[in-house]
Every structure is written in structure tokens, then in C-alpha cells.
């Protein structure tokens, strides 16, 4: 079914938007099936799980880290990760910079914003993002590059609320682009949209959609992985 699901989802992806197959909790066989159908962008939210999958799967895969990242786990992904979507503190960005330097790499990152009305989700608000971007510590970082923003909408059936939240994130991107990234063409990514809401996200300007269950089927969540 993965191949069929992928074809179906791919048909709905707008021009200029990249589809990330979110393969967290799924076995490598499932990723291989998506790979064989042409998928090259995979998203994972646990560093050790990403490392294990990276080790055995083809090397032309672009790995996107989309989950909460602990500083002591960066080392498992720093050598190959293409984009970290979940930067939510200066401290984390500094830690990524340090691990990237060890590999002689510049790692692309997104600032994760809290746009949902739920309390629990991670992410910055605009004041925190501005404090980060205007800090002397940030200016010193040579091995990370901020290329955009990421956010997750509220898990709700209220399509208007979801749309407003995506619009808010797009607005943050516009403000930051003008104020901190003038002339930096690379600050262009807006990572928003999942299986249930990616079509709204694309209408609101998403450039990266993170789609899991619509491609791989529902996940089992009963075992919290210690990562």
C-alpha cells in the first residue's frame, strides 16, 4: 500500500512544495518500499532511530530531523542530517553548531515556533526568536545556517483555526525575512502541514510538508521510546 499511498499523496503536492515522508516508528522495510517508489526525503523524530535507519538504507536519502532534539543526541545525526526542523533555543543551536564543526559541516536548521493553542507543543514565540537572532552568540555560529521556520497546528477539526495558525507562521517568516535575513535567499523554507492538514498548509504558503500516516499508515504509540 505504501507505493499507492505515496503516489496518491504526491499527486496532491503543489508546485514548489517538497514532500517529506515521515517514517518514525516504521520499520526499514517500509522506508525501503517508499525509496523504491522514488521517495528520497525522510523525516524522523528520534536521533537513535534515525541513526539506525541511516546506517542500513541507501546513502542518497535526505534525512530531516523533525522532533524534539536533546543536545546529547545530536552526535548521532550531525554527520549526515540534511535539515533540523526543531531548533527552539539558542542553547540547542549552539550544540548543533559544535557537532557540525566536528564533521566540517554547515547544518541547515529551521526555527520551530509554537503556533498551536495547545500548551504541550515545543517551540519559540516571536520575542524568543528575535532575541536568539539578535544575540552576539548567534552571530558567532559558523556551522549552522537558519533557512526558515517550522510549526505544528493544533490537533483539531476546526479548519479555520488551523488555517489561522499556519497564516501566523507564514507571517513570522515574512517578518524575520525582512528584519534578519534581508538578501539571504536561503531563508525560504516554511515547514508546515501533516497528513490531516497539509492541503491547508500549502494554501497558506508551506514549502515543506511532513506527511506520515497518509503514506505509511497509522502508528502504534503505546511504547514510549527512550531517546
Ligand X SMILES: *Cc1c(COP(=O)(O)O)cnc(C)c1O
User: Is 87 in a helix, a strand, or coil?
Assistant: strand
Among 50, 61, 66, 111, binds ligand X (CB under 6 A): 66
Which of 128, 133, 209, 142 minimizes the C-alpha distance to 178? Answer: 133
The interface with ligand X within residues 207-226 (CB under 6 A) comprises: 210-214
| Interatomic CA distance for residues 99 and 49, integer angstroms | 18
Contact between 67 and ligand X (CB under 6 A)? yes
Q: How far is CA 123 from the centre of its chain?
A: 12
User: For the residues of 45-79, what is the DSSP string, one character each?
Assistant: S-HHHHHHHHHHS-TTPEEEE-S---GGGGGGTTT
In this complex, which beta carbon is closest to ligand X, that of residue 19 or of residue 61? 19
Contact between 112 and ligand X (CB under 6 A)? no
In this complex, which beta carbon is closest to ligand X, that of residue 121 or of residue 173? 121
User: Is 175 in a helix, a strand, or coil?
Assistant: helix
Among 2, 6, 22, 87, binds ligand X (CB under 6 A): 22
Among 45, 97, 206, 207, binds ligand X (CB under 6 A): 45
The interface with ligand X within residues 134-193 (CB under 6 A) comprises: 152
Residue 111 bridge partners (DSSP): 87, 149
Contact between 132 and ligand X (CB under 6 A)? no
Residue number closest to ligand X, CB atom: 212
Q: Which residues form the interface with ligand X (CB under 6 A)?
A: 22, 24, 45, 66-67, 152, 194-196, 210-214
Amino acid at each position: 500500500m505504501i507505493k499507492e499511498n505515496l503516489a496518491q499523496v504526491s499527486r496532491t503536492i503543489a508546485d514548489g512544495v517538497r514532500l517529506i515522508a515521515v517514517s518514525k516508528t516504521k520499520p526499514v522495510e517500509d522506508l525501503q518500499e517508499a525509496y523504491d517508489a522514488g521517495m528520497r526525503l525522510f523525516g524522523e523524530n528520534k536521533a537513535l532511530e534515525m541513526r539506525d535507519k541511516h546506517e542500513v538504507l541507501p546513502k542518497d536519502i535526505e534525512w530531516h530531523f523533525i522532533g524534539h532534539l536533546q543536545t546529547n543526541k545530536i552526535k548521532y545525526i550531525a554527520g549526515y542530517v540534511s535539515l533540523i526542523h526543531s531548533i527552539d533555543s539558542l542553547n540547542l543551536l549552539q550544540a548543533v553548531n559544535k557537532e557540525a564543526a566536528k564533521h566540517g559541516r554547515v547544518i541547515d536548521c529551521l526555527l520551530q515556533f509554537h503556533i498551536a493553542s495547545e500548551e504541550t507543543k515545543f517551540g519559540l514565540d516571536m520575542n524568543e526568536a528575535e532575541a536568539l537572532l539578535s544575540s552576539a552568540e548567534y552571530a558567532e555560529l559558523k556551522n549552522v545556517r537558519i533557512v526558515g521556520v517550522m510549526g505544528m497546528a493544533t490537533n483539531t477539526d476546526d479548519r479555520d483555526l488551523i488555517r489561522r495558525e499556519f497564516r501566523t507562521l507564514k507571517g513570522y517568516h515574512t517578518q524575520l525575512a525582512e528584519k534578519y535575513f534581508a538578501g539571504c535567499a536561503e531563508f525560504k523554507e516554511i515547514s508546515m502541514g501533516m497528513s490531516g492538514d497539509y492541503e491547508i498548509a500549502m494554501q497558506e504558503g508551506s514549502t515543506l510538508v511532513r506527511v506520515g500516516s497518509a503514506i505509511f499508515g497509522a502508528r502504534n504509540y503505546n511504547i514510549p521510546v527512550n531517546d
